[in-house]
Amino acid sequence: MGEVSDSKSSLFPTYARYPMAMVKGEGSRLWDDQGNRYLDLMTGLAVTSLGHSPAKVKEKLVEQLDDLWHVSNLFHIPNQEKLARLLTDNSCMDAVFFCNSGAEANEAAIKLARRYHQKVLGTGRYEIITFKQSFHGRTLATLTATGQEKVQDGFQPLPQGFVYAPFNDAEALAGYINDKTCAIMLEMVQAEGGVRIADPAFVKEVAKLCKEHNLLLIVDEIQTGLGRTGKLFAYEHYGIEPDIITLAKALGSGFPIGAMLGKEKLTEAFTAGSHGSTFGGTPIATAAGIATVEIIVGDKLSDRAAEMGQYAVEKLKAKLEGHPMVKEIRAMGLLIGIECTRPVADLIAEIHGHGVLVVSAGPEVIRLLPSLLVTHEELDEGIEVIGKVLAGHTMAVNE
């Protein structure tokens, strides 16, 4: 791997990194510093949804670099208005707050839910119900919203006001609501949590309880949003309307940008001075966002993700079903999980060794997050390798 491994790293070791260093990307291909070529079926964890270096996004970015990089949010920023309009025109939402990451988008959602209940409704409520195995980010509030002890380990005391209900358990949910509850926050597919898809009946119950108890429904679409699941937003599969959704990952095609979208009634709670971000929605970040969303919407990439996802799942099932190590194949569009009966870290390393990049989702799930522009041939190539590697491990337990 060249220079990177030769000397001691000056970085905090917060990541268990794969032993490669990527230096170039184009479409679904990546190249490492040794000249090896890879098929990228993980897209930086659902970030490079248009593939690497998409030409139209690059063009918009370069144009914007010539004009203006940064200006304070104390000024009007036309690109922000334009991207916000694109997002609200294509969702059930009315207003947008821009930030720089997924965690910040969820942080904004948590703050907005509390402030709406405290300043607009005057109920004083602050508690948010989230779900076990969820993932909402790494800031103190969002790691507390995350229903995984390993993410919270060592960071006590955690902020108050979060409770964790079992995911997909419609009957248990009502028992978690009390006179302090202000919101329910969930992912339509728990992606980091193992590609676990919300049951329609469960989501219906969530929406019903939110209405009955005047709770805000927050849907974390950071991984599922922007076409990934076969709709522009995953909530559209369920026939519900959240009050708040959060976006990041694919929004800038790799340029950092996050967004929180909310219903009109919530604008009263985020008044001037109540929330902010220096870099939130800079002219450059929003230029990347505009170009990305225009392509995803204009080229109907949600429909493409639905079709390609179905194709991939059929191929995977044909190849892997009946394999003693494969427990279940789950997918919504191009968010695909292969649950195994044992830890998958060594399998993933082996798949990487054959030039195909996939990632885990929890210890026992192999996750595929291909570009929304992935071709049939590329999927065939990746699935062939996954099939070959799994065929070499027929034992149900880790040998």
Ligand X SMILES: *Cc1c(COP(=O)(O)O)cnc(C)c1O
**CB of 220: closest distance to ligand X in angstroms?**
5
Which residue's C-beta sits nearest to ligand X? Answer: 102
Residue 162 β-bridge partners? 128
- Identify which of 316, 338, 340 has the alpha carbon closest to the alpha carbon of residue 329: 338
Instruction: Check binding of 192 to ligand X (CB under 6 A).
Output: yes
| CA dist., res. 136 & res. 398, Å (int) | 30
Strand (E) or helix (H) holding 105:
helix 102-115
| Nearest-approach distance from CB 57 to ligand X, in angstroms | 18
Which residue, 102 or 262, is less far from ligand X as judged by CB?
A: 102
In the complex with ligand X, which residue's Cβ is closer, 202 or 378?
202
- Pick 50 or 109: Cβ nearer ligand X: 109
Interface characters, 209-228, with ligand X (x: CB under 6 A): -----------x-xx-----
Q: Toward ligand X, which CB reaches closer, 316 or 335?
A: 335
Q: Which is nearer to ligand X, 54 or 193 (CB)?
A: 193
Q: Which of residues 244-283 bind ligand X (CB under 6 A)?
A: 248-249
Residue 144 binds ligand X (CB under 6 A): no
Q: Which stretch binds ligand X (CB under 6 A): 134-142, 151-159, 160-168, 291-299?
A: 134-142
Instruction: Outline where DSSP puts E strands in the chain.
Output: 22-26, 29-32, 37-40, 95-99, 127-131, 162-165, 181-186, 189-190, 196-197, 216-220, 244-247, 258-262, 326-332, 335-340, 356-357, 359-360, 365-368
Min separation Cβ 92 and ligand X, Å: 19
Q: How many helices (H) and strands (E) does the chain have?
A: 13, 17
1 in Cβ contact with 33 (< 8 Å): yes
- The answer to the question of residue 367 lying near ligand X (CB under 6 A) is no
- Site map for ligand X, 77-106, x if CB under 6 A? ------------------------xxx--x
Q: Does residue 191 interact with ligand X by CB under 6 A?
A: yes
Q: Is 240 a binder of ligand X (CB under 6 A)? A: no
Q: How does 353-369 read in b/e, with b if 16+ C-beta sit within 10 Å?
A: eeebbbbbbbebbbbbb
Sheet hosting strand 181-186, strand order edge to edge: 95-99, 258-262, 244-247, 216-220, 181-186, 127-131, 162-165
Per CB under 6 A, residues contacting ligand X are 101-103, 106, 135-137, 187, 191-192, 220, 222-223, 248-249
